[in-house]
Chains A and B, each alone.
Chain A
Amino acid sequence: MHKHDVLIVGAGGAGLRAAVAAHEAGADVAIVSKLHPVRSHTGAAEGGINAALKDEDDWHDHAYDTVKGSDYIGDQEPINIMTREAPNEVINLENMGMAFSREEDKRVAQRPFGGLSFPRTTYASDKTGHMLLHTMYEQVLKRGITVYDEWYVTDLVVENGRAHGVTAIDLQTGRVDSFAANATIFATGGMGQVYEHTTNAVANTGDGLSIAYRAGVPMEDMEFIQFHPTTLPSTGILITEACRGEGGILYNNEGERFMYERGYAPNAGELASRDVVSRAELIEVQEGRGFEQGTVHLDLTHFGEEKIEERLAQILELARDFEGVDPVEEPIPVKPGQHYTMGGIACDADGKTNVEGFYAVGEAACVSVHGANRLGGNALLELVVFGKRAGEHAAKASAGSSSASVSPSKVEVRAEEERERIEELMSGTGVHQSEIREEVQEIMTEKVGVFRTEEGLKEAREAIQDAKRRYEDVTVKDSSSTFNTDLTQTLELRSILDVAEVITESALARTESRGAHSRDDYTERNDDDWLKHTMAHYAGENEYPRLEYDDVIIEEYEPKERSY
């Protein structure tokens, strides 16, 4: 049994930033993470982090770009908070020692990015996430914050509308233990493993989403899944948007610069927002103007080796090692791949959810700053701005909560139930998780991908229901209690199934096209009926999610048609 004021689940950029903030606010903080902190997927972020730092730039413009990028469904209040606080938070990272790239005048460097009206993406070569993650972890070490690494959180304990902590398995020993806390923050990251072709890590299975959902917290706007237009065809590894930011060009097999020549984005071209470019690429391929493996070409050869090495060093490595292509000599084949979850655990700008003492932050959360489409460079920003706010708020709330209201024994009881659930999983003779997982990943990629139809969504819904039925007989084949990855993958599969179902159900109901959610049967944005947030509630094991809707917060920017 462990007890802390503030317990943070997840040690990516969001979790670490929240931990530092809560610690600075005087709380006893601990982090629980299934991966060692430096293994978190934040380390993979490449292109940069946005902030209106320059005198010629203005956070209002950043806010407007974000609202427009979101296809007007992002909430304008938190968007204002995020873009206004961006310069301070980015400078704060710099002050903590984050190694940003530098201009000749010794100040931090910025570059253009998709959907931004000013080059305001601050970067560290093409390894911005790596530098951010390591810097934040250094700060956690400096402060001596407790980290339980390689502990897999299995459940959130909620009773009478209040969170009491979590249960978790120590991966080294297989022991299930309880963690009681006055405030619990989920910073568990994305869920790319719901899809077959994704830029996300194998660990990104949406655990936090599924656990919160089952505990009674709504999942907001889960139909909005971002597909990144430039991923390597064989692995889904990301080729950063910075390639296009620096002047990379997309060609079809007729040598046309199709973003301009085919009229997809006559002004912004390659730098239109990600949903627009992803759709354009797929249409090119569908109409026979693509290359092998359903790709188009991203050409950087005009940069010369030196520029690529200085600004896009990692891309050089990734294209060479993972696709056998040398970007100095030849174009890189690319296609869209699952990349980001705009939706997530419904919460406000302080990370607060509908459950007392339970917070969410980072990619797992939906503060609703990305709406229907996230701009590149805004995710890392979200981690630090809202990570800090959630950490501070949780620390304050924790200090104010009488210890009588949190009951460690409730967490202990749940831990016992979790032990039983796991024993059961280990003792059956049924189906193995990999079989079910592969099928779900495939159907999600095919039917709940960039383009969607009612028919396809219904097929996916059937398949997921079927997969859930089969999951009832799932059995862990590995009987060891030491580092049992078969067990963790089996637990992760339940998360994948829950999340897949929520995405599909939310997408089926939304009969319009907006941002990343694109329906062949409802091709127009429909503000009259759909200018609202989807809230998916857990309705029981064999029930479809129950959908409700919430208003969008609109302040200065009235919805209008988007063009790039």
Chain B
Amino acid sequence: MSTKTADDTHRGTVTLKVFRYVPEEDEDSYFKEYSIERQEGMTVLDALIRIRDHQDPTLTFRHSCRMARCGSDAMYIDGRQRLACNTQIEDLDLSTPVQIEPLPNEDVERDLVVDMDGFYDRMESVEPWFQPDHEPETGDEYLQSHENRQNIDTVLDCIWCGCCSSSCNPAGNDDDFTGPAALAKAYRFFKDEREGDETRQRRLEMLNKSHGLWRCHTQFNCTEVCPKGISPTEAIMEMSKEAVKQKLRFWR
């Protein structure tokens, strides 16, 4: 890879085929095509912003940080869940228009904006907060080994974008399934050595239910699409194994 040079900024045009739906105006959703000039380093989000600013101010999508950190611009781009902001246009197949849709599995509120409430509810269902087993002396930190901290490093990076649950068939079919993101979140605490055995046990029992760990088919869709390189699948497998080991498993 090399540093960009100024003379190759113009790359012709690119066509985006964008899902549109405005509830109070449209009976059905439809696709609308936009062509824009492509530039060196342009991301899908850059293209959408440009379209909104210069061609069609009614096009609606969420975004904020534009650095793959806030998780708000997850979309279905050319048949895959991705963050628009870290998807380079030139990495896509440009022989056909780039197809942009809202995340599958979620209700569409409008255009590319989906209802995330179900996702948030699932997140909350795993009691996603730290429950240590003892109090340190006032003013002291809880000691944690470097290794333990490293072990949870990847799952800590979750930005709640919803790509994973959107790619997960069981999550799509079963509103009660805890789902990959929330299970990965549970794992973050489950693996933290500062939460004691009792809490760990309770967390496991909470997940050991028909709509919890056991609904996962371990097919790695979630892992494949996660823009942060998290593997909810492996987290789920590890917790399931632990449940089996403890003969906790009551469902299949």
Q: Taking beta carbons and an 8 Å cutoff, which residues of A are in contact with B?
A: 35-36, 38-41, 43-44, 87-88, 91, 94-97, 99-104, 106-108, 124-125, 127, 130-131, 135, 138-139, 141-142, 172, 201-203, 234-235, 237-238, 291-293, 317-318, 320-326, 329-330, 333, 432, 434, 438, 476-478, 480-486
| Structural contact, A39 and B64, CB atoms closer than 8 A | yes
**Contact A87-B139, Cβ < 8 Å, known A44-B65, A142-B129:** yes
CA distance A333 to B3 in the complex (A): 8
Q: Taking beta carbons and an 8 Å cutoff, which residues of B are in contact with A?
A: 1-6, 22-25, 40-41, 43, 49, 52-54, 57-58, 60-72, 86, 88, 109-111, 113, 116, 120, 124, 127-130, 132, 136, 139-146, 149, 152-153, 156-157, 159-160, 189, 192
| Structural contact, B156 and A201, CB atoms closer than 8 A | no
| Structural contact, A438 and B64, CB atoms closer than 8 A | no
| Structural contact, B66 and A483, CB atoms closer than 8 A | no
Query: Which chain B residue shows the least CB distance to A104?
Result: B146
| Structural contact, A486 and B69, CB atoms closer than 8 A | no
Which residues from A are CB-within-8-Å of B65? 39, 41, 43-44, 201-202
The majority secondary structure among interface residues of chain B is loop
Which residues from A are CB-within-8-Å of B111? 483
- When the two chains form the complex, which single residue of B40, B61, B116 contacts A36, counting CB atoms closer than 8 Å? B116
**Contact A94-B72, Cβ < 8 Å, known A43-B65, A478-B58:** no
- When the two chains form the complex, which single residue of B41, B57, B124 contacts A234, counting CB atoms closer than 8 Å? B41
Query: Which chain A residue shows the least CB distance to B228?
Result: A317
Query: Which chain B residue shows the least CB distance to A147?
Result: B120
**Contact A88-B139, Cβ < 8 Å, known A38-B159, A99-B149, A329-B1:** yes
**6 additional contacts (CB under 8 A) given A201-B64, A322-B67:** A38-B70, A104-B146, A318-B67, A330-B1, A438-B53, A485-B52
| Structural contact, A106 and B143, CB atoms closer than 8 A | yes
| Structural contact, A324 and B41, CB atoms closer than 8 A | yes
Which residues from A are CB-within-8-Å of B63? 202
Q: How far is the CB of A54 from chain B (nearest CB, A)?
A: 12
| Structural contact, A434 and B149, CB atoms closer than 8 A | no
| Structural contact, A322 and B41, CB atoms closer than 8 A | yes
Which residues from B are CB-within-8-Å of A432? 57
CA distance A235 to B66 in the complex (A): 9
- When the two chains form the complex, which single residue of A107, A234, A237, A485 contacts B141, counting CB atoms closer than 8 Å? A107
CA distance A35 to B153 in the complex (A): 26
Q: How far is the CB of A477 from chain B (nearest CB, A)?
A: 4
Which residues from B are CB-within-8-Å of A325? 1, 3
CA distance A39 to B67 in the complex (A): 12
Which residues from B are CB-within-8-Å of A101? 149
| Structural contact, A434 and B53, CB atoms closer than 8 A | yes
Which residues from A are CB-within-8-Å of B113? 483
CA distance A88 to B143 in the complex (A): 16
| Structural contact, B141 and A478, CB atoms closer than 8 A | no
**Contact A482-B3, Cβ < 8 Å, known A99-B152, A237-B67:** no
Query: Which chain B residue shows the least CB distance to A332?
Result: B3
CA distance A545 to B130 in the complex (A): 47
Query: Which chain A residue shows the least CB distance to B194?
Result: A97
CA distance A91 to B143 in the complex (A): 11
CA distance A525 to B160 in the complex (A): 47
Which residues from B are CB-within-8-Å of A322? 41, 43, 67, 86
